[in-house]
Structure 1
Amino acid sequence: MSRFALAVVLLTLVYCFALASFHPWDIFFGAVISSALLVVFRRFLFGGEPSEIAGLPGRVLAFFPFAFATLYNILAGTLEVTMVVLHLRPLNKPGIVAIPIEERTPLGVAVSMLATTLSPGTFLVDIDWERRVMLVHCLDASDPGRVIEEHQEFYRRWQKRVFP
């Protein structure tokens, strides 16, 4: 990936020098043209198998449902915290739940925990890579199995296609 990024930067510089312009739009179009050329001729230029760029359109399309699901979790968490703060719902059993990492990549773990922490009422405490669990503090940890299943279902249904 670093070779690809370096090639994009260098080709964009050549494009800007050829135009004798470093206007932001010229840099943008140079980067787009450079990236497109490198994607098309990747096998010839870099050899080996093509990267995961082929799955990029599907990942981009899957991002929007993921973003809406994350927004829904944020709104639901906001409502839950509001209910507890206004004493309309009791604070039963807050605590820490160990959520298994399972097949998540390091990027997938980071995105899972970012999405979790964005939602009020839950936040990342620690990641134990040896035990392969993410330790999350929840306002309602009375049923850890339910919390684990909710996080795993969110990953399988919304996140896995975008950030595995």
Structure 2
Amino acid sequence: MRRFSVYLVALTLIYAFVLASFHPWDLALGALLSAALLLAFRRFVFVAPPGESGLLRRALYAVPLCLAILHSILKGTWQVALVTLHLRPLSSPGIVAVPVGERTPAGVAFSALATTLAPGTFLVDVDWERGVMLIHTIDASDPEAVRREHEEFYRRYQREVFP
């Protein structure tokens, strides 16, 4: 119950800071919304299944994950800018089948989001029967490199936060 209270206060304060208002009605609404979120996601926030990370551990691993996503966005922006400015030819765009591997459905959804945030790549579809994500990329000349890059991202950054 103590953790619930701490999280409730923290989320309510974040809500107040975002609104830039500490009016009692705003705080009450923020507390109500925070409580609803905590109750709706209590399994994710308070109970870590065996072999899964707790919330604090996930939050700590989220920092390098966000930095890796930012790096991916900057790299993709640079590649797309070079092609758009005709400084690099658009020679081999295409779809690459990236194995889902040990990702959970939530992990696949997060991988899709992270992939789509970076310019030059986006998720086309997930073929659950074949166990692959179909990703369109601006440079599919080396499909194995694309697969390695996605697997490395998952293994190194994502697995601890969104398995």
- Which TM class, normalised by the smaller chain length? 0.7 to 0.9
Unaligned 5+ segments in structure 1 are 9-21, 43-49
Aligned residue for 1:116?
115
Q: Partners in 1 of 2:99 and 2:106 — Cα distance?
A: 15
Give 1 or 2 for the bigger CA radius of gyration: 1
What is the TM-score with the length of structure 1 in the denominator?
0.72
Q: Partners in 1 of 2:26 and 2:159 — Cα distance?
A: 35
Aligned residue for 2:26?
24
Q: Which amino acid aligns with 2:126?
A: I
Unaligned 5+ segments in structure 2 are 9-23
Aligned residue for 1:91?
90
Q: Partners in 1 of 2:143 and 2:31 — Cα distance?
A: 50
* Cα RMSD (Å): 2.7
Q: Which amino acid aligns with 2:74?
A: L
Pairwise CA distance, 1:24: 3.1
Matches within 5 A, 1:5-154: 23-29=25-31, 51-52=47-48, 55-154=54-153
Q: Secondary structure at the match of 1:23?
A: helix
What is the TM-score with the length of structure 2 in the denominator?
0.73
Q: Partners in 1 of 2:91 and 2:28 — Cα distance?
A: 58
Q: Give the ranges of 4+ consecutive aligned residues of structure 1 lying more than 6 Å apart after TM superposition.
A: none
Aligned residue for 1:18?
none
Q: Partners in 2 of 1:130 and 1:119 — Cα distance?
A: 26
CA deviation map 1:28-80 (0-9, x unaligned):
45756xx6xxx8xx9xxxxxxx7218710010111111111101100100000
Pairwise CA distance, 1:159: 0.7
